[in-house]
Structure 1
Amino acid sequence: MLPWIHLATASTPEGDTLRLLRRGDEFSIRLEDGNELMNSRLGGSEEALATLALDLLAGRPAPRVLIGGLGMGFTLRAAQSVAPPGARLIVSEIVPELVEWAEEHMAAVFGDCLEDPRVEVKTGDVRTAISEAAGAFDAILLDVDNGPDGLTRGDNDALYGEADLLAARRALTPGGVLAVWSAAPDPAFTKRLTWCGFDTDVHAVRAGRTKRGSRHTIWTAVRTDS
C-alpha cells in the first residue's frame, strides 16, 4: 500500500494544527492527533448538504447561498451542479491555507470550480457573515467542524446554540433554508432548531457515494414566519 505523504500544515484560529496528506490520488485533512476531518473519497454526505437544501429552493431564479467551510469543496461543487445561472455562492472559510491548498495541492480535486463567476470565496468566520446579514441569504449551508458536537473550535459550539440559530433565521429570506451537516445525530439540536422558528427535517446520509459506509446527519430547516 502506498504511504501517506505530508504536504502541508496549517493552524486554526484557536491554535489546532491541520495536516494535509496525500496517498496516490487520495487526500486527507487531519488533526495533529491523527483524527481525520475530511477525505477526498468520502464526500457523499457533504454533497447531499447542498442538494437537499437547494431542492427546497426550486423556482428561485437567483438564490444567494452562504456556505460555511470550504473543506475539500464537496458542498460547493454540489451546489454548483444544481444552482441556476443567476445564483451567488459565497464560501466563508476561516483558515486561509485551505483556500491555498485547494488551488495548489488539491487542484485535481477542485478542478475549475473556484473560477465559476457565481462563486466568491471569503476568508473569515461564517458566524460573522451570518450576524452581519439580515434577510440576505436564501440558504445557509453549514459544514463546519464536526457539526453541533465540534472537534476543533470551541466557538463552533456557539454557532449551533440558540442565539446563533436565531441569527441565522434573521439572515435568511422568508422560506429560506438552514442546512447543517453533522457526523452524528443530535436530538437536542433538532429541538433547538424547532424552538428557533424552523420547520425541520432530519436526514441520514451515507458518508460515501455508495450504499455502504457510515451514516452522517443533515438537518434541513426552513424558516417559518407564522
Structure 2
Amino acid sequence: MIPWVPLARAPIPGTQQELCLYRRGEQLEFSIQISGYISELMNSRMHASEDALAELGCAVIAGRPAPRVLVGGLGMGFTLAAALKALGPRGVVTVAELVPEVVEWNKGPLGACAAFPLRDSRTRVHVGDVAELLRRGHANYDAVLLDVDNGPEGMTHHGNDWLYSPSGLAAAQRTLRPGGVLAIWSATPDTRFTRRLQQAGFRVEVQTVRARPGKGTRHTIWLAHRTQAAAVIPARAPQQERRQRRT
C-alpha cells in the first residue's frame, strides 16, 4: 500500500486541533485530516458531492445577469471551482476560509486538483469565518454554499454550530437576495435540521449525492430557498450562542 506523506499542518483557530495535509503517490492524491481523528476530512479523489453542492445551488439562480455567490469553506477548492464553472463571465464568487494556511495550500500543489480556482479573476477571498459575512445581514448574495464542516454538527470548529442555529439561519436568509438559495453539505442526513430550516422560513429540498460519480459514500445536500421576507430573529454574538447551549 502506498503510504501517505505528511506535507503541512495548520492550527484551527479557536481549538486545540490542527488540519494535516498529506499526499500519496505521484498522481496528486491529497488528503486533509484533523489531528486526533482516524477518518479523513476530505480526499481529492472523492469530491463529486462537493461539486454537486455548487451545481445544485447555482442551478437555482441560473439566468441571473451578474450572480454573486458566497462559498463557506475553501477546502480543496472543488466547490469554488464548480461554482465558477456554473456561473457566467459576470458572476463573482467570494470564498471564506477560516484557516489561512488552507488558502496557501490551494495556491501551491494542492491547487492543481481543482485547476487553481483561486487564480480566476471572478474569485474573491475572505480569510476568516464565513459567519462574519453572514452577520452583516445585507442581501448581497444570490446563493450561499456552506461546506465548512461535516454538517449541522460542528466537528472541526464548534463555532460553526452558530451557522446551523435559528439565528444563524436567519442571518443567512437576510444575506440572500429574493429567490436566492442556501445550499448546505453534510456527511449524514438530519431530519431535525430539515425541520429547523423550514421553521426558519425556507422552502427545503433534500438531495442525496455520492462522493464519487455513481458510487461511494452518500452525502446530503439541503437546498433552502428564500421565498419570503427574511426572518426577524436577531443574530447573537458567539458568546451568547455558547451560553444558550449550556443551559
Would the TM-score normalized by the shorter structure come out above 0.5? Answer: yes
The aligned counterpart of 2:106 is: 102
Indicate which of 15, 18, 28 corresponds to 2:31: 28
Answer yes or no: is the 8 Å Cα contact 1:103–1:110 preserved in 2.
Answer: no
CA drift at 1:204: 0.4
The aligned counterpart of 1:157 is: 161
- Distance in 2, Cα, partners of 1:225 & 1:104: 43
The aligned counterpart of 1:222 is: 225
3-state SS in 2 of match to 1:147: coil
Out of 182-191 and 152-161, give the one that drifted further. Answer: 152-161
- Distance in 1, Cα, partners of 2:111 & 2:65: 30
CA drift at 1:35: 2.7
Q: Aligned pair 1:62/2:103, yes or no?
A: no
Q: TM-score, normalised by structure 1?
A: 0.97
3-state SS in 1 of match to 2:109: coil
Residues 174-212 of structure 1 show CA distances to partners (whole Å, capped at 9, x for unaligned) of 111000000000101101111111111000000112x11
- Distance in 2, Cα, partners of 1:56 & 1:122: 24
Answer yes or no: is the 8 Å Cα contact 2:77–2:111 preserved in 1.
Answer: no
Answer yes or no: is the 8 Å Cα contact 1:204–1:215 preserved in 2.
Answer: yes
CA drift at 1:81: 1.1
Answer yes or no: is the 8 Å Cα contact 2:53–2:221 preserved in 1.
Answer: yes
The aligned counterpart of 1:92 is: 96
Answer yes or no: is the 8 Å Cα contact 1:180–1:218 preserved in 2.
Answer: yes
The aligned counterpart of 2:238 is: none
The aligned counterpart of 1:16 is: 17
1:42-191 equivalent positions in 2, closer than 5 A: 42-191=46-195
The aligned counterpart of 2:232 is: none
Q: Identity over aligned residues, as a percent?
A: 52
CA drift at 1:15: 2.6
Number of equivalent positions: 225
- Distance in 1, Cα, partners of 2:60 & 2:114: 26
Instruction: State the AA in 1 paired with 2:8.
Output: A
1:193-212 equivalent positions in 2, closer than 5 A: 193-209=197-213, 211-212=214-215
User: What is the root-mean-square deviation in Å for CA atoms of aligned residues?
Assistant: 1.1
Instruction: State the AA in 2 paired with 1:165.
Output: L
Instruction: State the AA in 2 paired with 1:198.
Output: F
- Distance in 1, Cα, partners of 2:112 & 2:156: 27
The aligned counterpart of 2:243 is: none
- Distance in 1, Cα, partners of 2:129 & 2:190: 23
- Distance in 2, Cα, partners of 1:101 & 1:191: 37
3-state SS in 2 of match to 1:102: helix
Answer yes or no: is the 8 Å Cα contact 1:202–1:217 preserved in 2.
Answer: yes
Q: TM-score, normalised by structure 2?
A: 0.89
Instruction: State the AA in 1 paired with 2:19.
Output: L
Instruction: State the AA in 2 paired with 1:223.
Output: R
